Structure 1
């Protein structure tokens, strides 16, 4: 068909997906949402290149661009969008809108891809994990909206976020412990030593022998008490009010690059290491301030012991483990 201003305005929208109206290798792609873009098909392998969006790009200018491409028949690689170019534009846009930690996650997975051209990237270039696949889907959807890509090779991949099971290895714990960016690094150490949640750390009230977090600041609204052990006591004077966890986490991710982890994973690491030491599960639950668990039902009604003495013994044994792991005397 002959493409004119009138024919473009009157093009019928497809019920689903996209439809392209052609004029000798030059065409207009129409989406079901009404978006119209100029495209050109060129080369022996019939590559498709998006020229621009109508009416931002006029029909006259689009036809001129298409004629240049079709007349010169350049090498395909000269017209293909590189992964580096698309990635840089995507991350620059994300930095304006998203949290630093989210941008870091996208950058982490996209930087692992070794392909040169965007349209060569496929399923084999990303690990089969929820975070990796979601990063790829978001990236390609963005590229399609900005007319850098024609399709999303990850559009049919289902992402299921189940229960997290990330536990930091001993080597990763050592790397985090040596990171020095107070007061954030001191809070990281406190989480590793006590299993406290990020939101609880800022509200610890030290006593003679116990740390107390008022129920107003705990997840289950129950006051939480922990024994103060030597390594914890050493940290307490250095703690000060801090609320820049997201930016500080972004910084530590850049300076101590590890596979994706969250601050809450430190709590899981704490509990797992206690299990390695043989700490009884009901003591671990007391240290984590868990309400339900091994002691529940009728037993929970009658057993009112707070297990603080047993918790201190367990924490002292845990600190011996940490001292050995960190190479402390």
Structure 2
């Protein structure tokens, strides 16, 4: 490439107009900028023009050249600034391009927060049934920090995010996020991914006191009617209705599969893999619950009975998020799906069902230490007859509540109570 051509000077004060006016020649040529040593514009025989910086690093004899981009996509001011940075570093004996390459390589090798979440879920939470919920909670909490290196995260960054959650009236969620983030960074510290956990020293956002929210009969009726009128999907609405019928966890009802149901004896067998206490649980299907599931089974002969909008099996987090986004639409005081489970348990006790049978229905360990020892080591009964009586009683009462005739539908004899106890 020639530096002198018939089409223009060798060196000149480059402006947008002078660069634009440069014409192509039979061979490519270069015009240097008087105002910025090392900067030039290269004009190809095709007429294309591009910026180029030429510089020599102090202490070396080789002149380096670096293309800075095409004109006019890269402006004259941008080209001058970049060329000046390269030549200034070169005068100090530094290769700016090599330094930048090293920085990019170092940055690429550093684990981002987003990558840390995936690594933590894969290596530390792989066998946990709640790994999906943990992953979603971490991604939701740290979405604004996902691209930052994990080792650069400071306590003030996390405090800012969690304070915002707490300030919007969700201190328990902020505390859950704090605990999940803390567990992840503690693991990252043990794996030498970060030097120390930035969560350390961050105060708790909630006392951890258990919720005691119960739905009154009036609220149960309001909630049931709202499910019918709401914009929730039929799958979500039915999963919540089923939870209120059976007292199960929302994840257990939402994740129900056709193969878990015995349609002859109408029994639902929750496999240990989906049970919180990792124990298989058998539950009789009664009344309203049977109606809901019969309808579902007509739609799905196998696989999940409830699905989300992507067609995947419905999860507790799907339902929880749907409730949160509709908080202002629900005609009840602050409500979460687990309140339904607590409501069923309390209603069963109020009816007169023995505590141990209520525990069996809900999938909890029954009784005192001695009773739990018996169940753990000796007793091998699913208490299905007792559960059936208890759920028949609750179905009768629930039906009355839904229809607004609770008193007339709440006939339950002492003999029946005795059978359930």
SS for the counterpart of 2:328 is: helix
Q: Distance in 1 between matches of 2:245 and 2:340?
A: 9
Which residue is equivalent to 1:221?
278
Deviation readout 1:131-182 (Å, 9 max, x if unpaired):
6999xxxxxxxxxxxxxxxxxxxxx998422122221222221121112331
Is the counterpart of residue 264 in structure 1 residue 345 in structure 2? no
For residue 267 of structure 2, what is the aligned residue in structure 1? Answer: 210
- Corresponding residue SS for 2:353: coil
- Cα pair distance change 1:283/1:131, threshold 3 Å: same
- When the two chains are superposed, the root-mean-square deviation of aligned CA atoms in Å is 3.6
Give the counterpart of 1:197 among 246, 249, 263.
249
- 8 Å CA contact 1:191–1:267 kept in 2: the answer is yes
Which consecutive unaligned segments of at least 5 residues does structure 1 have? 1-93, 111-129, 135-155
Aligned counterpart, 2:384: 308
Q: CA deviation at 1:263?
A: 1.3
**Structure 2 gaps, min length 5:** 1-140, 145-162, 176-202, 297-304, 309-313, 406-421
Give, in whole Å, the separation in 1 of the partners of 2:167 and 2:353: 38
CA gap 1:265/1:103 in 2 versus in 1, 3 angstroms: farther
Q: Is residue 327 of structure 1 aligned with residue 380 of structure 2?
A: no
- Normalising by structure 1, report the TM-score: 0.51
The CA deviation at 1:297 is 2.2
Kindly state the Cα deviation for residue 260 of structure 1 after the two structures are TM-superposed.
2.0
**Number of equivalenced pairs:** 194
Q: 1:203 to 1:131 in 2, by over 3 A?
A: closer
| Pair 1:289-2:378 in alignment | no
Summarize the Cα distance change of 1:189–1:158 in structure 2 as closer, same or farther, 3 Å threshold. closer
Tell me, in whole angstroms, the C-alpha distance in 1 between the residues paired with 2:219 and 2:207. 26
1-structure distance, mates of 2:246, 2:218? 19
1:1-329 map, 5 Å: 159-178=206-225, 179-180=227-228, 181=232, 182-201=234-253, 202-204=255-257, 205-207=260-262, 208=264, 209-236=266-293, 237-238=295-296, 239-242=305-308, 243=314, 244-294=318-368, 295-298=371-374, 300-327=376-403
Q: Which of structures 1 and 2 has the larger relative contact order (alpha carbons within 8 angstroms, sep 6+)?
A: 1
Alpha-carbon distance between aligned partners in 1 of 2:346 and 2:249, rounded to the nearest angstrom: 15
Larger radius of gyration: 2
Q: 1:304: Cα distance to partner?
A: 2.6
How far 1:248 sits from its partner (Å)? Answer: 1.8
Shift of 1:203: 2.5
Q: Distance in 1 between matches of 2:204 and 2:166?
A: 19
How far does residue 265 in structure 1 lie from its aligned partner after superposition? 1.6
Structure 2 CA distance for partners of 1:308 and 1:184, relative to 1, 3 Å: same
* 3-state SS, counterpart of residue 327 of structure 2: helix
Q: Compared with structure 1, are the counterparts of its residues 187 and 103 closer, same or farther at alpha carbon in structure 2 (3 Å cutoff)?
A: farther
Distance 1:184 1:247 in 2: 11
